[in-house]
Chain A
Amino acid sequence: MAEKSFHLPSSRKGIVAGRPSWETEFCAFFMTRQRTLTRTAYAILGSWHAAEDAAQQTMSSLYVYWPRIRTGNVDVYARRVLVNNCMNAFKRQSREATTSQPPETSVDVDLSAHADLLAALSQLDAKQRVVLTLRFLEDLSVREVAEILRIREGTVKSRTARGLERLRTSLETTTI
Protein backbone atom coordinates (compact mmCIF):
# COMPACT_ATOMS: atom_id res chain seq x y z
CA MET A 1 0.00 0.00 0.00
CA ALA A 2 1.30 3.39 -0.86
CA GLU A 3 2.41 5.69 1.90
CA LYS A 4 1.23 9.24 1.46
CA SER A 5 1.45 12.20 3.74
CA PHE A 6 -1.21 12.14 6.36
CA HIS A 7 -1.93 14.33 9.30
CA LEU A 8 -2.99 12.96 12.64
CA PRO A 9 -3.73 15.34 15.48
CA SER A 10 -0.93 15.62 17.96
CA SER A 11 -2.92 13.92 20.69
CA ARG A 12 -2.94 10.74 18.61
CA LYS A 13 0.81 10.42 18.45
CA GLY A 14 1.88 7.15 19.99
CA ILE A 15 -1.48 5.51 19.50
CA VAL A 16 -3.21 4.01 16.56
CA ALA A 17 -6.93 4.34 16.15
CA GLY A 18 -7.42 5.21 19.80
CA ARG A 19 -5.27 2.43 21.21
CA PRO A 20 -1.96 3.03 22.89
CA SER A 21 0.94 1.45 21.08
CA TRP A 22 2.37 0.01 24.31
CA GLU A 23 -0.70 -2.03 25.15
CA THR A 24 0.45 -5.12 23.30
CA GLU A 25 3.55 -5.14 25.45
CA PHE A 26 1.53 -4.82 28.62
CA CYS A 27 -0.77 -7.66 27.63
CA ALA A 28 2.20 -9.87 26.85
CA PHE A 29 3.64 -9.07 30.25
CA PHE A 30 0.30 -9.84 31.90
CA MET A 31 0.01 -13.21 30.18
CA THR A 32 3.51 -14.30 31.09
CA ARG A 33 3.76 -12.94 34.64
CA GLN A 34 0.31 -13.16 36.17
CA ARG A 35 0.83 -16.66 37.51
CA THR A 36 4.20 -15.85 39.06
CA LEU A 37 2.87 -12.76 40.78
CA THR A 38 -0.15 -14.62 42.13
CA ARG A 39 2.03 -17.42 43.48
CA THR A 40 4.33 -14.96 45.20
CA ALA A 41 1.41 -13.11 46.74
CA TYR A 42 -0.04 -16.39 47.99
CA ALA A 43 3.22 -17.40 49.62
CA ILE A 44 3.30 -14.05 51.40
CA LEU A 45 -0.37 -13.75 52.32
CA GLY A 46 -1.40 -17.39 52.76
CA SER A 47 -4.72 -16.90 51.03
CA TRP A 48 -5.54 -17.34 47.36
CA HIS A 49 -8.31 -14.79 47.61
CA ALA A 50 -6.02 -12.15 49.08
CA ALA A 51 -3.27 -13.14 46.65
CA GLU A 52 -5.52 -12.62 43.64
CA ASP A 53 -6.56 -9.22 44.95
CA ALA A 54 -2.96 -8.17 45.47
CA ALA A 55 -1.84 -9.45 42.07
CA GLN A 56 -4.82 -7.90 40.32
CA GLN A 57 -4.15 -4.54 41.95
CA THR A 58 -0.51 -4.85 41.00
CA MET A 59 -1.33 -5.48 37.36
CA SER A 60 -3.69 -2.51 37.28
CA SER A 61 -0.97 -0.29 38.71
CA LEU A 62 1.46 -1.57 36.13
CA TYR A 63 -1.02 -0.72 33.38
CA VAL A 64 -1.36 2.82 34.71
CA TYR A 65 2.38 3.43 34.75
CA TRP A 66 3.37 1.18 31.86
CA PRO A 67 4.42 3.95 29.43
CA ARG A 68 6.86 5.18 32.05
CA ILE A 69 8.20 1.87 33.35
CA ARG A 70 8.27 -0.23 30.19
CA THR A 71 11.80 0.75 29.27
CA GLY A 72 13.19 -0.05 32.71
CA ASN A 73 13.34 -3.21 34.76
CA VAL A 74 9.63 -4.03 34.82
CA ASP A 75 10.05 -7.19 36.87
CA VAL A 76 11.71 -5.34 39.72
CA TYR A 77 9.00 -2.71 39.64
CA ALA A 78 6.24 -5.33 39.48
CA ARG A 79 7.59 -7.22 42.47
CA ARG A 80 8.02 -3.99 44.42
CA VAL A 81 4.40 -2.99 43.78
CA LEU A 82 3.23 -6.50 44.65
CA VAL A 83 5.11 -6.50 47.93
CA ASN A 84 3.65 -3.10 48.82
CA ASN A 85 0.16 -4.38 48.06
CA CYS A 86 0.81 -7.47 50.19
CA MET A 87 2.07 -5.34 53.07
CA ASN A 88 -1.06 -3.22 52.83
CA ALA A 89 -3.13 -6.40 52.89
CA PHE A 90 -1.25 -7.50 56.00
CA LYS A 91 -2.10 -4.22 57.70
CA ARG A 92 -5.76 -4.61 56.82
CA GLN A 93 -5.74 -8.18 58.12
CA SER A 94 -4.15 -7.19 61.40
CA ARG A 95 -6.74 -4.46 61.87
CA GLU A 96 -9.51 -6.95 61.13
CA ALA A 97 -7.96 -9.48 63.49
CA THR A 98 -8.53 -7.17 66.43
CA THR A 99 -12.24 -6.93 65.77
CA SER A 100 -13.25 -10.23 64.25
CA GLN A 101 -12.38 -13.86 64.78
CA PRO A 102 -11.11 -15.87 63.08
CA PRO A 103 -8.87 -13.74 60.83
CA GLU A 104 -9.82 -13.79 57.16
CA THR A 105 -6.47 -15.18 56.09
CA SER A 106 -7.27 -18.66 57.17
CA VAL A 107 -10.62 -18.93 55.44
CA ASP A 108 -9.60 -20.38 52.09
CA VAL A 109 -6.21 -21.84 52.85
CA ASP A 110 -5.89 -25.50 52.03
CA LEU A 111 -4.31 -26.71 55.22
CA SER A 112 -4.38 -30.37 54.30
CA ALA A 113 -1.20 -30.66 52.24
CA HIS A 114 1.12 -28.06 53.70
CA ALA A 115 -0.39 -27.25 57.03
CA ASP A 116 2.93 -27.30 58.84
CA LEU A 117 4.62 -24.94 56.44
CA LEU A 118 1.69 -22.55 56.36
CA ALA A 119 1.46 -22.58 60.11
CA ALA A 120 5.19 -21.95 60.42
CA LEU A 121 5.12 -19.16 57.85
CA SER A 122 2.23 -17.53 59.64
CA GLN A 123 4.45 -17.24 62.72
CA LEU A 124 6.89 -15.02 60.84
CA ASP A 125 6.46 -11.30 60.61
CA ALA A 126 5.44 -9.88 57.25
CA LYS A 127 8.89 -8.61 56.30
CA GLN A 128 10.46 -12.00 56.94
CA ARG A 129 7.82 -13.75 54.86
CA VAL A 130 8.43 -11.35 52.01
CA VAL A 131 12.18 -11.92 52.06
CA LEU A 132 11.89 -15.70 52.33
CA THR A 133 9.35 -15.81 49.51
CA LEU A 134 11.51 -13.76 47.18
CA ARG A 135 14.63 -15.71 48.08
CA PHE A 136 13.24 -19.25 48.04
CA LEU A 137 10.14 -19.22 45.87
CA GLU A 138 11.38 -16.82 43.23
CA ASP A 139 15.01 -17.87 43.71
CA LEU A 140 16.25 -14.30 43.71
CA SER A 141 19.69 -13.36 44.98
CA VAL A 142 20.29 -11.25 48.05
CA ARG A 143 21.22 -8.33 45.78
CA GLU A 144 18.03 -8.67 43.73
CA VAL A 145 15.85 -8.80 46.83
CA ALA A 146 17.61 -5.77 48.24
CA GLU A 147 16.93 -3.88 45.02
CA ILE A 148 13.24 -4.79 45.02
CA LEU A 149 12.71 -3.91 48.67
CA ARG A 150 15.08 -0.93 48.56
CA ILE A 151 16.92 -2.13 51.61
CA ARG A 152 20.56 -3.02 52.21
CA GLU A 153 21.86 -6.46 51.35
CA GLY A 154 22.84 -6.92 54.98
CA THR A 155 19.22 -6.39 55.99
CA VAL A 156 18.11 -9.03 53.50
CA LYS A 157 20.64 -11.47 54.93
CA SER A 158 19.62 -10.82 58.51
CA ARG A 159 15.90 -11.12 57.77
CA THR A 160 16.58 -14.32 55.88
CA ALA A 161 18.61 -15.78 58.72
CA ARG A 162 16.09 -14.82 61.39
CA GLY A 163 13.18 -16.01 59.30
CA LEU A 164 14.81 -19.36 58.60
CA GLU A 165 15.73 -19.79 62.23
CA ARG A 166 12.20 -19.10 63.33
CA LEU A 167 10.85 -21.37 60.63
CA ARG A 168 13.21 -24.13 61.67
CA THR A 169 12.09 -23.83 65.27
CA SER A 170 8.43 -23.92 64.30
CA LEU A 171 8.84 -26.88 62.00
CA GLU A 172 10.94 -28.81 64.51
CA THR A 173 8.12 -28.72 66.97
CA THR A 174 5.90 -30.37 64.37
CA THR A 175 7.43 -32.40 61.56
CA ILE A 176 11.20 -32.07 61.77
Chain B
Amino acid sequence: MNVEEQLRSDLKELTHDVPRSLNLDQVVLAGRSRRRRRHVVAGVGTCALLTGISWGGTGLVDSLTTSGRESQQLQPAIAGAHHVLPAHQLGHGKKSDLGAQDVQDFVPGTDIDEHMQTVINGHLDPGLHATVTDVYPSDWNHDGAMPDAQWQNATDWQAVYTIPGGQRLLVIMFYVRPGDSCTDGASQQAYSLNGTYFEASGRTDCQTRFGVNSILSVSADSEAQATQKFALSTAQLAAISEDNGLAFAAPINPPS
Protein backbone atom coordinates (compact mmCIF):
# COMPACT_ATOMS: atom_id res chain seq x y z
CA MET B 1 0.00 0.00 0.00
CA ASN B 2 1.51 3.32 -1.02
CA VAL B 3 1.26 6.44 1.08
CA GLU B 4 -1.70 7.82 -0.92
CA GLU B 5 -3.74 4.68 -0.45
CA GLN B 6 -2.80 4.48 3.19
CA LEU B 7 -3.71 8.12 3.74
CA ARG B 8 -7.05 7.70 1.99
CA SER B 9 -7.89 4.59 3.99
CA ASP B 10 -6.69 5.97 7.32
CA LEU B 11 -8.42 9.31 6.92
CA LYS B 12 -11.74 7.63 6.23
CA GLU B 13 -11.32 5.30 9.17
CA LEU B 14 -10.06 8.04 11.46
CA THR B 15 -13.05 10.27 10.76
CA HIS B 16 -15.69 7.59 10.42
CA ASP B 17 -17.17 7.86 13.88
CA VAL B 18 -18.28 11.43 14.31
CA PRO B 19 -18.92 11.74 18.04
CA ARG B 20 -21.78 14.24 17.94
CA SER B 21 -24.15 15.70 15.38
CA LEU B 22 -24.17 19.42 14.87
CA ASN B 23 -26.99 21.27 16.53
CA LEU B 24 -29.50 22.47 13.95
CA ASP B 25 -31.25 24.55 16.59
CA GLN B 26 -28.06 26.47 17.37
CA VAL B 27 -27.11 26.80 13.72
CA VAL B 28 -30.43 28.32 12.82
CA LEU B 29 -30.57 30.60 15.82
CA ALA B 30 -27.04 31.83 15.10
CA GLY B 31 -27.96 32.23 11.46
CA ARG B 32 -31.08 34.14 12.38
CA SER B 33 -29.13 36.41 14.66
CA ARG B 34 -26.60 37.15 11.95
CA ARG B 35 -29.31 37.68 9.36
CA ARG B 36 -31.07 40.04 11.75
CA ARG B 37 -27.90 42.06 12.04
CA ARG B 38 -27.90 42.17 8.27
CA HIS B 39 -31.53 43.33 8.39
CA VAL B 40 -32.77 40.15 6.82
CA VAL B 41 -34.58 38.12 9.42
CA ALA B 42 -36.00 34.70 8.85
CA GLY B 43 -38.25 32.34 10.71
CA VAL B 44 -37.21 28.81 11.36
CA GLY B 45 -40.25 26.62 11.64
CA THR B 46 -39.75 24.48 8.56
CA CYS B 47 -36.56 23.01 10.01
CA ALA B 48 -38.72 21.28 12.54
CA LEU B 49 -40.51 19.40 9.77
CA LEU B 50 -37.24 17.85 8.65
CA THR B 51 -36.17 16.94 12.14
CA GLY B 52 -39.44 15.16 12.70
CA ILE B 53 -40.93 17.66 15.08
CA SER B 54 -44.28 19.25 14.54
CA TRP B 55 -43.89 22.99 14.66
CA GLY B 56 -46.74 23.51 17.04
CA GLY B 57 -45.53 21.00 19.54
CA THR B 58 -42.35 21.19 21.51
CA GLY B 59 -40.48 23.80 23.41
CA LEU B 60 -37.73 23.65 20.82
CA VAL B 61 -40.08 24.47 18.04
CA ASP B 62 -41.92 27.06 20.05
CA SER B 63 -38.61 28.76 20.52
CA LEU B 64 -37.95 28.61 16.82
CA THR B 65 -41.28 29.64 15.43
CA THR B 66 -41.52 33.02 17.01
CA SER B 67 -40.77 34.54 13.63
CA GLY B 68 -38.15 37.10 14.19
CA ARG B 69 -37.02 36.75 17.76
CA GLU B 70 -35.27 34.38 20.05
CA SER B 71 -37.50 32.22 22.16
CA GLN B 72 -40.04 33.94 24.33
CA GLN B 73 -41.57 33.03 27.63
CA LEU B 74 -44.89 31.68 26.47
CA GLN B 75 -48.00 32.63 28.35
CA PRO B 76 -51.53 31.62 27.53
CA ALA B 77 -53.58 34.33 25.91
CA ILE B 78 -56.91 34.82 27.52
CA ALA B 79 -59.77 35.96 25.41
CA GLY B 80 -60.79 39.17 27.02
CA ALA B 81 -63.10 42.06 26.40
CA HIS B 82 -62.94 43.48 22.94
CA HIS B 83 -61.21 46.70 23.83
CA VAL B 84 -60.89 48.63 20.60
CA LEU B 85 -59.07 51.89 20.17
CA PRO B 86 -59.78 53.74 16.96
CA ALA B 87 -56.71 54.39 14.88
CA HIS B 88 -56.72 58.13 15.49
CA GLN B 89 -56.57 57.53 19.23
CA LEU B 90 -53.56 55.31 18.90
CA GLY B 91 -51.42 58.26 17.89
CA HIS B 92 -48.05 56.78 17.30
CA GLY B 93 -48.54 54.15 19.89
CA LYS B 94 -46.80 55.55 22.93
CA LYS B 95 -47.74 54.03 26.26
CA SER B 96 -51.20 55.16 27.19
CA ASP B 97 -53.76 54.35 29.80
CA LEU B 98 -54.92 51.25 28.01
CA GLY B 99 -56.10 49.71 31.21
CA ALA B 100 -55.44 46.33 32.69
CA GLN B 101 -55.56 43.64 30.03
CA ASP B 102 -54.54 40.01 30.04
CA VAL B 103 -52.04 40.62 27.35
CA GLN B 104 -48.26 40.62 27.21
CA ASP B 105 -45.91 43.50 26.61
CA PHE B 106 -43.64 42.28 23.85
CA VAL B 107 -42.41 45.66 22.65
CA PRO B 108 -41.45 48.19 25.33
CA GLY B 109 -42.54 51.76 24.82
CA THR B 110 -45.72 51.19 22.86
CA ASP B 111 -49.23 49.86 23.38
CA ILE B 112 -49.66 48.68 19.82
CA ASP B 113 -48.62 45.13 20.67
CA GLU B 114 -50.99 44.95 23.65
CA HIS B 115 -53.79 46.54 21.65
CA MET B 116 -53.34 44.07 18.82
CA GLN B 117 -53.60 41.17 21.25
CA THR B 118 -56.70 42.64 22.86
CA VAL B 119 -58.52 42.90 19.55
CA ILE B 120 -57.46 39.45 18.37
CA ASN B 121 -58.23 37.84 21.72
CA GLY B 122 -61.75 39.15 21.40
CA HIS B 123 -62.22 36.84 18.43
CA LEU B 124 -60.68 33.75 19.98
CA ASP B 125 -62.88 31.47 21.98
CA PRO B 126 -61.26 30.59 25.33
CA GLY B 127 -61.89 26.95 24.46
CA LEU B 128 -59.33 27.23 21.69
CA HIS B 129 -56.53 27.64 24.26
CA ALA B 130 -54.72 29.90 21.85
CA THR B 131 -51.35 31.14 23.07
CA VAL B 132 -49.74 34.34 21.91
CA THR B 133 -46.07 33.67 21.26
CA ASP B 134 -44.94 36.97 19.83
CA VAL B 135 -46.03 40.39 18.65
CA TYR B 136 -43.46 42.47 16.84
CA PRO B 137 -42.99 45.40 14.51
CA SER B 138 -41.65 44.99 11.01
CA ASP B 139 -41.21 46.99 7.86
CA TRP B 140 -40.84 46.58 4.12
CA ASN B 141 -37.17 45.78 4.43
CA HIS B 142 -37.56 42.98 6.98
CA ASP B 143 -38.86 39.46 6.50
CA GLY B 144 -39.45 39.23 10.25
CA ALA B 145 -39.05 41.48 13.26
CA MET B 146 -37.30 44.79 13.10
CA PRO B 147 -35.51 46.04 16.23
CA ASP B 148 -38.06 46.84 18.92
CA ALA B 149 -36.51 50.24 19.50
CA GLN B 150 -37.44 51.23 15.95
CA TRP B 151 -41.12 50.41 16.32
CA GLN B 152 -42.14 53.97 15.47
CA ASN B 153 -40.97 53.35 11.91
CA ALA B 154 -42.84 50.06 11.54
CA THR B 155 -44.99 49.57 8.48
CA ASP B 156 -46.19 46.15 9.69
CA TRP B 157 -47.18 44.69 13.03
CA GLN B 158 -47.44 40.93 13.34
CA ALA B 159 -48.94 38.77 16.06
CA VAL B 160 -48.23 35.05 16.27
CA TYR B 161 -50.48 32.63 18.15
CA THR B 162 -50.24 28.90 18.55
CA ILE B 163 -53.33 26.78 18.90
CA PRO B 164 -53.23 23.19 20.18
CA GLY B 165 -53.08 20.64 17.40
CA GLY B 166 -50.08 22.26 15.74
CA GLN B 167 -51.97 25.24 14.43
CA ARG B 168 -50.50 28.67 14.07
CA LEU B 169 -52.35 31.93 13.64
CA LEU B 170 -50.50 34.87 12.17
CA VAL B 171 -52.18 38.28 12.06
CA ILE B 172 -50.47 41.02 10.10
CA MET B 173 -51.40 44.70 10.08
CA PHE B 174 -49.60 46.45 7.26
CA TYR B 175 -49.28 49.48 5.07
CA VAL B 176 -48.94 48.70 1.38
CA ARG B 177 -45.56 49.80 0.14
CA PRO B 178 -45.69 52.83 -2.16
CA GLY B 179 -45.57 51.65 -5.74
CA ASP B 180 -46.94 48.20 -4.95
CA SER B 181 -50.29 47.27 -6.45
CA CYS B 182 -53.26 47.38 -4.10
CA THR B 183 -56.44 45.31 -4.35
CA ASP B 184 -59.28 46.98 -2.53
CA GLY B 185 -61.63 45.04 -0.28
CA ALA B 186 -61.77 41.73 1.52
CA SER B 187 -60.59 38.39 0.19
CA GLN B 188 -59.97 34.81 1.25
CA GLN B 189 -57.46 32.28 0.09
CA ALA B 190 -56.46 28.72 0.85
CA TYR B 191 -53.16 27.22 -0.23
CA SER B 192 -50.55 24.69 0.78
CA LEU B 193 -46.79 24.46 0.78
CA ASN B 194 -44.64 21.46 1.67
CA GLY B 195 -47.30 19.76 3.73
CA THR B 196 -48.42 22.90 5.52
CA TYR B 197 -51.92 24.09 4.74
CA PHE B 198 -52.96 27.73 5.02
CA GLU B 199 -56.33 29.36 5.34
CA ALA B 200 -56.14 33.11 4.99
CA SER B 201 -58.38 36.12 5.07
CA GLY B 202 -57.48 39.71 4.33
CA ARG B 203 -58.77 43.19 3.78
CA THR B 204 -57.09 46.17 2.23
CA ASP B 205 -58.22 49.77 1.98
CA CYS B 206 -56.45 51.21 -1.03
CA GLN B 207 -57.36 54.76 -0.05
CA THR B 208 -55.38 54.55 3.17
CA ARG B 209 -53.24 51.72 1.76
CA PHE B 210 -53.73 49.89 5.05
CA GLY B 211 -54.68 46.25 5.43
CA VAL B 212 -54.90 43.27 7.74
CA ASN B 213 -54.28 39.60 6.98
CA SER B 214 -55.13 36.70 9.27
CA ILE B 215 -53.53 33.41 8.33
CA LEU B 216 -54.12 30.05 9.98
CA SER B 217 -51.77 27.19 9.19
CA VAL B 218 -51.36 23.56 10.13
CA SER B 219 -49.26 20.61 9.04
CA ALA B 220 -51.38 17.85 7.57
CA ASP B 221 -51.23 14.88 5.25
CA SER B 222 -54.02 16.13 3.06
CA GLU B 223 -56.26 19.06 2.39
CA ALA B 224 -59.16 17.20 3.96
CA GLN B 225 -57.20 16.53 7.13
CA ALA B 226 -56.11 20.16 7.28
CA THR B 227 -59.67 21.34 6.92
CA GLN B 228 -60.66 19.04 9.74
CA LYS B 229 -57.84 20.36 11.94
CA PHE B 230 -58.48 24.07 11.39
CA ALA B 231 -59.86 25.47 14.63
CA LEU B 232 -61.06 28.69 13.04
CA SER B 233 -63.46 28.95 10.16
CA THR B 234 -62.99 31.23 7.19
CA ALA B 235 -65.68 33.47 8.65
CA GLN B 236 -63.83 33.68 11.97
CA LEU B 237 -60.58 34.54 10.21
CA ALA B 238 -62.42 37.16 8.19
CA ALA B 239 -63.89 38.60 11.39
CA ILE B 240 -60.35 39.15 12.67
CA SER B 241 -58.96 40.68 9.50
CA GLU B 242 -62.01 42.90 9.03
CA ASP B 243 -62.06 44.16 12.60
CA ASN B 244 -61.54 47.91 12.33
CA GLY B 245 -59.96 47.85 15.76
CA LEU B 246 -56.86 46.43 14.16
CA ALA B 247 -55.12 49.59 13.15
CA PHE B 248 -52.03 51.60 13.86
CA ALA B 249 -50.79 54.98 12.77
CA ALA B 250 -48.65 55.24 9.68
CA PRO B 251 -44.93 55.39 10.48
CA ILE B 252 -43.32 58.73 11.10
CA ASN B 253 -40.34 57.87 8.95
CA PRO B 254 -41.32 55.07 6.57
CA PRO B 255 -38.43 53.15 5.07
CA SER B 256 -37.53 53.73 1.46
Contacts and interface: CB of A to CB of B under 8 A. Distances in A.
Decide whether A and B are members of one complex: yes
Interface of A: 1-12, 14-21, 23-24, 26-28, 30-31, 34-35, 38-40, 42-43, 48, 52, 55-56, 59-64, 67, 113-114, 117-118, 132-133, 136-137, 139, 164, 167-168, 171, 176
Contacts of A24: 46, 49-50, 194
Contact of B42 (A19, A38, A42, A48): A19
| Ranked 7 nearest A-B pairs via Cβ | A63-B31, A1-B190, A18-B67, A6-B189, A39-B15, A19-B43, A9-B174
Nearest to B192: A1
Given A2-B190, A23-B47, A39-B15, A17 B198 contact: yes
Interface string B164-202: 000010101011110010110001111101101011101
Nearest to A26: B47
A156 to B, nearest CB: 14
Contact of A4 (B14, B170, B182, B189): B189
B187 A4 contact: yes
Given A28-B50, A133-B11, A137-B8, A64 B189 contact: no
Contact of B156 (A2, A11, A27, A31): A11
Contacts of A113: 13-14
B18 interface: yes
Nearest to B217: A17
Contact of A34 (B15, B21, B200): B21
A20 B190 contact: no
A164 B4 contact: yes
Nearest to B158: A18
Contacts of A17: 43, 67, 168, 170, 196, 198, 215, 217
B143 A20 contact: yes
Given A55-B22, A59-B22, A18 B170 contact: yes
Contacts of A168: 3
Contacts of A136: 4, 7-8, 11
Pick from A6, A7, A42, A164 the residue with the most CB of B within 10 Å. Answer: A7
Interface residues of B, number: 81
Given A6-B187, A11-B177, A19 B45 contact: yes
Nearest to A132: B7
Given A6-B187, A34-B21, 5 more contacts: A5-B189, A17-B217, A27-B47, A30-B24, A63-B30
Contacts of A48: 18-20
B88 interface: no
Pick from B34, B47, B182 the residue with the most CB of A within 10 Å. Answer: B47
A84 B26 CA distance: 20
A11 B254 CA distance: 13
B56 interface: no
B252 interface: no
Nearest to B35: A64
B176 to A, nearest CB: 7
Nearest to A48: B19
Interface stretch (B73-81, B90-98, B109-117, B134-142): B134-142
24 contacts: A1-B191, A1-B199, A4-B188, A7-B202, A7-B204, A10-B180, A11-B138, A11-B143, A15-B42, A17-B196, A17-B198, A17-B215, A20-B143, A24-B194, A27-B47, A31-B51, A43-B15, A55-B22, A56-B30, A59-B27, A63-B28, A63-B30, A117-B14, A167-B7
Interface in B53-87: 65, 67-68
Contacts of A27: 24, 46-47, 49-51
Contacts of A132: 7
A176 B217 CA distance: 63
Contacts of A30: 22, 24, 27, 47
A18 B68 contact: yes
B49 A137 contact: no
